[in-house]
Structure 1
Amino acid sequence: MAWVMSYMNKETCVIFEDEYQDKEEVVLWMNTVGPYHNRQETYKYFSLPFCVGSKKSISHYHETLGEALQGVELEFSGLDIKFKVRANDVMPATYCEIDLDKEKRDAFVYAIKNHYWYQMYIDDLPIWGIVGEADENGEDYYLWTYKKLEIGFNGNRIVDVNLTSEGKVKLVPNTKIQMSYSVKWKKSDVKFEDRFDKYLDPSFFQHRDADEKMRRDKGIHWFSIFNSFMMVIFLVGLVSMILMRTLRKDYARYSKEEEMDDMDRDLGDEYGWKQVHGDVFRPSSHPLLFSSLIGSGCQIFAVSLIVIIVAMIEDLYTERGSMLSTAIFVYAATSPVNGYFGGSLYARQGGRRWIKQMFIGAFLIPAMVCGTAFFINFIAIYYHASRAIPFGTMVSKLV
C-alpha cells in the first residue's frame, strides 16, 4: 500500500502518492541549511538569500505528529519537475535570478566560510548539497548556481536521487546571478522498498564528495570507537573485581561471626555492607515522589525497549518524524506500567493517597519534558532556527 503525501495551497488540496503517472508533477522540497561541522545548527533554506522558482507556491502539510513537533517546515522550491520528462538535459534552464547586493553577498560569504550545506527532499528521499566554496587564499568566494538532478525510477516509482552542483560563480556585489537546474531520468533496478538502503551503507558517508570538497574527513573512526569500547570493558571489569574482593572478605568475616557466642557478636562493630543496610532498607521519607519516580523510570525503560524492537522490525527511518511519533504512542500505551510499579511500591510503603500518586506519576515526566521543550523552543524562535516550533502549534498539539 502506497503511502500518501498531502500538501495544500490556498485554493486546492492536492494529494500525491509514491506512484506517479507519466508527466505528473514531482515536488522538490527545500528543507534546511546550516554549517556542516555542527549538524544541530540548522536554519530554513530561504533564510539565505536564495531565489524561488516561478512555479506557484505550495505549502507543506505535516504528515506525522513527530514531524510537526520536530519543527519540520518544508518549503517549495518552485522548480517545474515532471515524472519521466527530461528537463533541460543538455543545457541548464534558469529558474530565477538573484540580485546580489552587499547584504546578500555578506550572507553568502558567511555561509561559505562556515561550510554551509543544505538539504532537499524529492519523494521523501533526502538530497544534500553545498552552498559554495572559497579559493585557496580565502579571498574570493564562489556560489554553486547549477543543480543537476539525476532521478532513478523503477516502474512508476522514484527509487534514487542524486545531485551534482556545478556552475561556480564568483560573488561580486551589485551583480545578478542566475540560478539554473536540469533533470535527467534514468531506469534503475533498485526496488522501492530498498531505496533507503544506500543511506544505511557506511561507505555512502565515508567518501570525500568531490562537489563539496570538504576539508574534514567524513570517515568513521572505527579505531577510536573500538578503543573506547575496550576501555569501558576494562573499567567495568576492574570495578567488578574490586567489589567482588570486598564482598568476599565481608562474607568470610560474617561466616566467622556465626561461630561466636552472642556476647562477642554484640560487642563487635559493624563493618562492610552492614554499615549501609540501615540506609538501603529504610522506608523513603517522601514515598509519594519516590514511587512516582520509580514508576516513571519503569515506563521509560519499557518505552525504550519497545521502540528499539519496533525500529529493528519496521523501517522507521524512511519517514520523517516517525521515530518520535512511535515513541509518543508507545509512551501513552505503556502508562499502565507506570501505574502498576509506582502504585504497588507506594502501597507497600503504607501510602494512602493513591489518587494523588497516580496523577503525579502520570504527569511528572511529561511536565518536565514539555517545560524543557518550551524553554528550548523559545531560544530557537529567538535565533530563527529551523527546528523552532510556532507557539500556536505547540499549544494545539498539547491540547
Structure 2
Amino acid sequence: MLSTVRSFSLFVAFIFVILLEPSFASESDHKYQADDPVTLWVNKVAPYNNPQETYNYYSLPFCQPSGNPAHKWGGLGEELGGNELIDSQIDIRFRKNVDRKSICALELNAAKVNQFKDAIENAYWFEFFMDDLPAWGFVGEFHPYKSNENKHLLYSHMSLIVEFNGDQIITVNLTQDYPKPLEVGRTLDLTYSIKWVSTNITFGRRFDVYLDYHFFEHQIHWFSIFNSFMMVIFLTGLVSMMILMRTLRNDYAKYAREDDDLETLERDVNEESGWKLVHGDVFRPPRNLAVLSAVVGTGAQLAMLVLLVIILAIIGMLYIGRGAIVTTFIVCYALTSFISGYFSGGLYSRNGGKNWIKSMILTASLFPFMCFGIGFILNTIAIFYGSLAAIPFGTIVVVFIIWAFISFPLALLGTIVGRNRSGAPNNPCRVKTIPRPIPEKKWYLTPSVVSLMGGLLPFGSIFIEMYFVFTSFWNYKVYYVYGFMLLVFLILVIVTICVTIVGTYCLLNAENYHWQWTSFLSAASTAAYVFFYSIYYYYVKTKMSGFFQTSFYFGYTLMFCFGLGILCGAVGYLGSTLFVRRIYRNIKCD
C-alpha cells in the first residue's frame, strides 16, 4: 500500500514538472553576453477582427527558413492556446545594431499575390517573440480608394528597437516601413534593422509596457466594485434583519409558549401558514438526486478552483507566461477533484442515495466531458480550416491522462470520504410518508419564476467585470487585475447566497417544499444572463465575422457559462441548505 501511495505521489510530481515548468520557463536565464545570438521566434498570423482564427506564420508566403527550423514547445497551456513558435533564423546579436539587412528576395507569383491581398484586406496581424517578449505587426496596408495596382501594399521592412538593461532584454518594439505594391512577377527585397537602446527599467518590470493601466484601472472599474459592495451590504441586511431577526423570531416565539397557554397555542398553530407547515416534507430527497449531487459537488470544486487560481495569479503574475493560466487551471482542477467527490458523496448519502458509484462517475465526468464535447466540435472546425487553434492529438492524450490518473482517482477518494463522514440522514424534522399537496400560489411564487429572478442581482454584481474579462479575452488586452477579480468573486458568492436564501424563504412560505433544485437553478440562472450579455457583446462590441470565429466565440462562452452556472448553483444550494436546516432546527415537530 505504501509503495502504491509513493508511486502516485511521484507521478503527481512528474506531472507538475512536465506541465508547470514549461509555462514559467524561458530561454536560458534571460542573460546574454555581448554578441550572443538572440532568437526571433515567429508564431502566428490572424485576421485582426477574429482573434481565435489563427494560422501558422508561414501559411502566408513570407521568407521561409532554410532546412528544418527549430520549434519551441512552451507547455500544455501554450499548445491549447494555439501557439507554434518557429525559429525565423534571422541573424540577431545581443547589443549589435543592424542598419539594414536583407532577409530574402521574395519572388511574387499569382498565388502569392492573391494570398497577400486576401490577408491585407482582412487586416492580418502577426506575432513574434524575442526572449519571451511579444511583438506584433501587420502584413500590409489596404487603400480601397486607390487605383487597382496600389490598393494592397506589403510592408517590406521591419525595424526592431530592443531596450536592454545590463545583460537582460527589457522591451521589444516592432515598426514597419517601405510598403510596396503587390505585382505578379515582381521581386521584393524584405529587410530588417535592429537598434539596441539602454534603459533603466528593471527586469522585473519589463512586462508593464503590455498592461493597459488606463483601461483596467479606470474610475468605472472602481465604481463597479463600490456598487457591488453596497449591494452586498443591502442584501445581507435584508436577509439578517427581515428574515432571520424579524420574521423567524416572531414565529419561534409562538412555538416557544408555555404549555399552560395551550388554547392560544392551538389557535395560533391552526391559523399558521407558510414555511412551518411543510416541515414534514422540506427534507424529502429531491428528484434526480444523483444529478443534483454531481452538479453541487462539481460546483463546490469549481468555486475552490477559481479562488485558488486567482490567488496563484496574484502571487505568481501568471499573465506573463504564455498559457500559464490555462496550465494552472487544468492542473489545479485535477488536484481539487477530491472536493467534488467529497461534497457529492456527502449530499448523496445524506439523502439516502444507494447507487453511489453512479453518482461518483457522474461527478467525476460531468464537467470534463461537457468541455470535451464542445472542444471536440471546435477542434473539428479548426482542423477543417487548418488553424493553429486545432489541438494536437498528443495534447489531448496528455489532458486525458491527467483526468484518468489524477482527477478521477481523487474524485473516487473524495466520494468515499464524503459518504463515510456524512453517515445516515440526520434532518431536524422527520420526513412524512405521504407528501403534502402543494397549494396554488401567485405566479411570482412559482419555482420557475423564482429561478429566473434569482440570477438578476448576482449578474448585476459582476456585470462590469464581465466587460473587462470579455474585452481582455476577445480584444487583445492582457488581464492582470486579479485583485479586482478576487473582490468581485467574493461579492458574487455573498450576493448569490443572500438572493438564494430570500428565494428559498419565499418558496417555503408559499408551502412549496421543492426548494433543492429551485435554489440551485435560481443561483445558476446567473450564467444565463451572462450568456445573453455575450450575445450583446458579440454584435455591439466586436467586429467578428465568419463561421470559424462565431463558433469559437459562442463555444468558449457556452463552456464558460456552463461552469459559471454550476459554480453559482452549488454556492446557492449550499447556502440555502444551511439556512433551511437552521430555521427548522428549533421547530417542534411530531
The alpha-carbon distance between structure 1 residues 17 and 246, as it changes in their structure 2 partners (threshold 3 A), is closer
RMSD over equivalenced CA pairs, Å: 3.5
Q: Secondary structure at the match of 1:196?
A: helix
2:206 & 2:364 partners in 1: Cα distance?
Answer: 40
TM-score, normalization by structure 2:
0.55
1:47 & 1:280 partners in 2: Cα distance?
Answer: 63
1:237-248 equivalences under 5 Å are: none
Aligned to 1:189: 200
Aligned to 1:44: 56
Aligned to 1:107: 115
Cα contact 2:26–2:132 (8 A) shared by 1: no
Cα contact 1:30–1:120 (8 A) shared by 2: yes
After alignment, is 134-143 or 285-294 more displaced?
134-143
Deviation by residue 1:115-165 (Cα, 9 ceiling, x = unmatched)? 221111101101011111123615411111101011112222111111110
Cα contact 1:53–1:95 (8 A) shared by 2: no
The alpha-carbon distance between structure 1 residues 255 and 292, as it changes in their structure 2 partners (threshold 3 A), is closer
Deviation by residue 1:327-367 (Cα, 9 ceiling, x = unmatched)? 12211222221222111111111123334433332222222
The alpha-carbon distance between structure 1 residues 304 and 197, as it changes in their structure 2 partners (threshold 3 A), is same
Aligned to 2:96: 85
Ranges in structure 2 where 5+ consecutive residues have no aligned partner: 1-20, 258-263, 402-590
The alpha-carbon distance between structure 1 residues 240 and 192, as it changes in their structure 2 partners (threshold 3 A), is closer
Structure with the larger helix share: 2
Aligned to 1:283: 285
Deviation by residue 1:56-107 (Cα, 9 ceiling, x = unmatched)? 54332322221123232112222111222222x2xx2111122222222222
Q: Secondary structure at the match of 2:171?
A: strand
The alpha-carbon distance between structure 1 residues 81 and 291, as it changes in their structure 2 partners (threshold 3 A), is same
After alignment, is 281-290 or 317-326 more displaced?
281-290
Q: Secondary structure at the match of 1:363?
A: helix
Specify which of 143, 152, 159 is matched with residue 141 of structure 1.
152
Aligned to 1:301: 303
TM-score, normalization by structure 1:
0.79
Specify which of 311, 314, 324 is matched with residue 326 of structure 2.
324
- Asked if 1:32 corresponds to 2:47, the answer is no
Aligned to 2:370: 368
Cα contact 1:57–1:78 (8 A) shared by 2: no
Task: State how many pairs are aligned.
Answer: 369
2:160 & 2:278 partners in 1: Cα distance?
Answer: 68
Cα contact 1:128–1:163 (8 A) shared by 2: yes
Q: Secondary structure at the match of 2:145?
A: coil
2:218 & 2:76 partners in 1: Cα distance?
Answer: 35
Cα contact 1:69–1:394 (8 A) shared by 2: no
1:261 & 1:397 partners in 2: Cα distance?
Answer: 63
The alpha-carbon distance between structure 1 residues 274 and 379, as it changes in their structure 2 partners (threshold 3 A), is farther
Cα contact 2:34–2:94 (8 A) shared by 1: yes
1:128 & 1:382 partners in 2: Cα distance?
Answer: 26
Cα deviation for residue 110 of structure 1 reads: 2.0
Ranges in structure 1 where 5+ consecutive residues have no aligned partner: 7-15, 204-218
Aligned to 2:342: 340
Percent of pairs with identical residues: 37
The alpha-carbon distance between structure 1 residues 311 and 117, as it changes in their structure 2 partners (threshold 3 A), is same
1:1-399 equivalences under 5 Å are: 4-5=25-26, 16-53=28-65, 57-87=68-98, 89=99, 92-135=100-143, 137=145, 139=147, 140-202=151-213, 262=266, 266=270, 270=273, 281-399=283-401
Q: Secondary structure at the match of 1:283?
A: coil
Q: Could you tell me which amino acid in structure 2 is paired with residue 24 of structure 1? A: D
Cα deviation for residue 196 of structure 1 reads: 0.4
2:269 & 2:186 partners in 1: Cα distance?
Answer: 94
2:252 & 2:346 partners in 1: Cα distance?
Answer: 35
Cα contact 2:76–2:395 (8 A) shared by 1: no
Cα deviation for residue 238 of structure 1 reads: 10
Cα contact 2:69–2:88 (8 A) shared by 1: no
Cα deviation for residue 261 of structure 1 reads: 5.7
Cα deviation for residue 230 of structure 1 reads: 9.2
1:220 & 1:335 partners in 2: Cα distance?
Answer: 33
The alpha-carbon distance between structure 1 residues 34 and 86, as it changes in their structure 2 partners (threshold 3 A), is same
2:89 & 2:328 partners in 1: Cα distance?
Answer: 32
Deviation by residue 1:255-302 (Cα, 9 ceiling, x = unmatched)? 99879664675477x56x679988864312222222121111100000
Deviation by residue 1:171-224 (Cα, 9 ceiling, x = unmatched)? 222212221111111222121111101111436xxxxxxxxxxxxxxx789688
